[in-house]
Structures are given as C-alpha cells and as structure tokens.
Homo-oligomer: A and B are copies of this chain.
Amino acid sequence: MKHVVVVGGGVAAKGFLSSAVAIHSDVKYTFIRKTEFGPVPCGIPYAFGTLDSPMDNISPDTGILKGGAELIIDEVIEIDSKEKNITLKSNKKLNYDKLVMAVGSEPIVPPFPGLELENILTIEKDLNVVTKQKEIIKNSKNIVIVGGGFIGVELADEIKNFEGKNVTIIELARNVLSAAFDVKYCQAVEDILKHKNINVITKLGVSEFKGNGKVEEVVLSNGQIVAADMVFLSIGAKPLIKLGEMAGLETNPRAGIITDAYGYTSNSDILAIGDCSSKIDFFSGKGSGIKLASVAAREGRIAALNLFGKVMPESPLGVTSLFSTCVHGEYFAATGMTIEQLEKSNTLFNTVDITTVDKHPTTLPNAKKIEGTFIFAKETNIILGAQLKGSVQVAELINFLGYAVQNKASAYELYTLNYASHPMGTPSPNKTIAHMAATALLKKIK
C-alpha cells in the first residue's frame, strides 16, 4: 500500500487529507503535527472575543482520522529525498511514496527597535499561545495593533467589545484593508471602527517600541507616541521554507516552496500546499502573495485529486482574491482586482456602483442595504472584480461573483442569467445585484 506523509496539520493539510481519503482510499496516510490540536486560523480573532474560550476554536481532525489517516505529534528534523524517508525528532523514521509539505507560514516581524520588550505579540496558530495571549489582553488597557489587514481589523473589533480597552490600529498604507478594497470600502470600515472608538492611524509606520521591561509606548514614524500595555503585530506572514530547503527543493524566501498549479515541487514525489508554497495570480500569471485559509484549502484538494497523476483536463486557475470579513456586524467582501490594482497594471476598465436591499419589499423587518462596486474590462465587458458591503448575505454573494470572475463572465452573461429571489433572503427580482451591475454598465457604455 502506498504511504503518503503530510507534514503539517492546518488548513492545507486538512484540505488535502479530507479529499485524499475520499478519493484515493487504498493509501496509508500519516500526518505529522507539532501540537495535538490546531486552531481554525481565521477564527483566532474570535477566540480572543466572541468565543467563550480559545479551546472553542479547535479545528477538529475527526473527519480525517475517521477516514483512516494517522496523526503523529512530532517534528520533522531530516528529509532524505533520495531514499524517500523522513526522520522525526523522536528518532522515528518514516518512508513515503509521496511527501506533502503543509507547514504554513510565520508572522513577519520587521526589525523594530524594542522588539525584545514583553507583551509584544504575534498571531500564532497555537491554542496554548492564544489562551495565554487572551490573559494578557484581559490585563491590558492600552492595546495597539500594528497592521490593519483582515486579522488586525477583526482583532481590534473583537477586543474593543471588552469594557475599558483603548484599542489603536496602526497601518502603514493609505487605509486599513487596502490590499483587498478600494478607498470607499476601506473608509466605510474605518468609519465603523472609529464609531466604536477604535483609534485608527493610517499612513504611518512604527519606528520603535519603548518601555521598561514591558512595552509602554509605540513610537510612530512621525514621532507621535501611542501608549501601549501590549502590542499585537499583524503585519503579514512569510512562508516557512526550511523543510523545502532540507529536501533540496527549489524555494524562494518570499514566494515559498516553488510549485506548479497542482502543488508539485521540483521533486515530483514531494508536493507543497498552503502558506508555505508558491502561488500564481489568476490575472497576471505572475506570483501571488495571497496567504489565506481558503487558498490553502483549495491547494490541498487540488493536490489530493492530482496526487497520483494529473486528472484535471487543464491546469487549475490561479489564485484570485475572494475575501470577506465582518466589522461590528457589517459584512464586507471582495473578489478579483481592485480599481487601484487595475490602474497599476495598466488595465482598461469601467466601474459601476450599485445599491440594493437584501429583502423585498424593503419594508420587511431587518431589511438591510447592500452596496456594491463592480469593475468590468473596457472592451470585452468581462467582470474583473467586485466589492460589497452589507448584511451576512454578502459572504455568499461574493462567491457567486468570484465564480463569475473565474468564469470570465461578461456583463451580458450576468444580465441574462436566471436568478432566484425570495422576500426573506434576497433583493427583489428586479434588483439582483449582479444584473443591476450589468445594467448599469450597459447604460454607461452606450
């Protein structure tokens, strides 16, 4: 029986294993993880707030274990890619037919002066660490979050729900969430945060941390000082490539372990998936720096399907933005390219803005406005991107639009599709967001 060894036990590993045990059942699977349990990575901000305990944020292994995969709690210390075996810290040796690296990423920590001070934390995918950090939050008044990406914003939103916390986000770019959204939506997020008395500082970086043993102050690049009992660094993540180097694979410190679109590395018996592996952008065909659980899950299942020979008729599509978040109960979502990105890439496009309501008639209780910006290519009228703001429906609406982007749907296709509508769950049939966007575009280009 073939033996497939997976190093890692996070989202990519689980995406891979849950698919592989279903599709290739006559195979022995072993996965090696440092810890007994792994968290739901996107759930970490909620482990600090909404969830009673960080332990409520465990990502269960049940399905995979029931599928027959074996978990070894250990660490890989050596890979012999010629003999096709690995050595664990416990000195155990495992032979493999296929080795799958799903070791993830680590937080980016720029060399700020004062980093050695206590209570400067990073997001760690380790429930014990999260539990300890939650204690530190509890005992802190002034909390500074450096980096206003999704994690930073969600963390601020969650922590501010506790009484008596001064929360500050520091973001170097023009806005929070600027990698995912154009100004209009970023500002809407910032407005919600500010309305919640979260201090949002943008276009300024950190120059150093100061304190006596413990961090006490964050000094910004303009000299401004923000008081801090603790600091969360949520600046981003870089791929862990040590294991790839150990196996003699082609790697790149920024991109990760170099793979093709199926997850195959430069050694055809070793695959790499998730944050540790390189990605190709759907639009440009160049490298993509997106590190997301949904991307990792997808790479896991693509690798699983094509593990013993490629069964896909053509190379899987590259990675495209497909994001959603929730800020104080308001949902934001985006797919494809932003206006800013398109301008930088010299792509010609048209944009339209749309407003609808998630129920109809709009007099129904709890009916909520949905706003959207849609971007279409200039001559082909193919959808290039969309950004949404509204009720929880937005979190699935974006998957429809993400599919349209990946399917290279034109405005005419979105205009003409059949859609479902219902008073209690969607806009009115004459206000479906995708066809409204298409109509607005047709009006614009006439």
**Given A425-B331, A428-B59, is A404 in contact with B402 using a C-beta cutoff of 8 Å?**
no
> CB within 8 Å of B: which of A387-446?
392-400, 402-404, 406-407, 412, 415-426, 428-430, 432, 435, 439-440, 442-443, 446
One digit per residue, 1 when the CB lies within 8 angstroms of any chain B CB and 0 when it does not, for chain A 297-324 equals: 1101110010000011100110110111
Residue A268 is within 8 A (CB to CB) of chain B in the complex: no
One digit per residue, 1 when the CB lies within 8 angstroms of any chain B CB and 0 when it does not, for chain A 46-62 equals: 10001100001111000
Is A435 in contact with B301, judged by CB distance below 8 angstroms?
yes
| Contact stretch, chosen from A90-98, A105-113, A288-296 | A288-296
User: Which B-chain residue is minimally distant from A318 (CB atoms)?
Assistant: B418
Is A298 in contact with B419, judged by CB distance below 8 angstroms?
yes
Q: How far is the CA of A140 from the CA of B23 in the complex (A)?
A: 58
User: Which B-chain residue is minimally distant from A52 (CB atoms)?
Assistant: B363
Q: How far is the CA of A424 from the CA of B324 in the complex (A)?
A: 9
Report which of B22, B392, B429 forms a contact with A15, defined as CB distance below 8 A.
B429
Residues of chain B within 8 A (CB-CB) of A313 are 412
Is A361 in contact with B56, judged by CB distance below 8 angstroms?
yes
Residue A326 is within 8 A (CB to CB) of chain B in the complex: yes
Number of A interface residues in the complex (CB < 8 A): 89
Residue A25 is within 8 A (CB to CB) of chain B in the complex: yes
Residues of chain B within 8 A (CB-CB) of A323 are 420, 422
A425 to chain B, nearest CB (A): 3
> CB within 8 Å of B: which of A5-59?
11, 14-15, 18-19, 22-25, 40, 42-43, 45-46, 50-51, 56-59
The 18 sampled A-B contact pairs (Cβ below 8 Å) are A19-B442, A22-B440, A25-B446, A40-B361, A45-B423, A51-B361, A56-B363, A292-B429, A298-B429, A300-B430, A317-B417, A320-B418, A324-B425, A326-B423, A392-B393, A395-B420, A395-B426, A400-B403
Q: What residues of chain A have their CB less than 8 Å away from a CB belonging to chain B?
A: 11, 14-15, 18-19, 22-25, 40, 42-43, 45-46, 50-51, 56-59, 282, 292-298, 300-302, 305, 311-313, 316-317, 319-320, 322-326, 331, 333, 335, 360-361, 363-365, 392-400, 402-404, 406-407, 412, 415-426, 428-430, 432, 435, 439-440, 442-443, 446
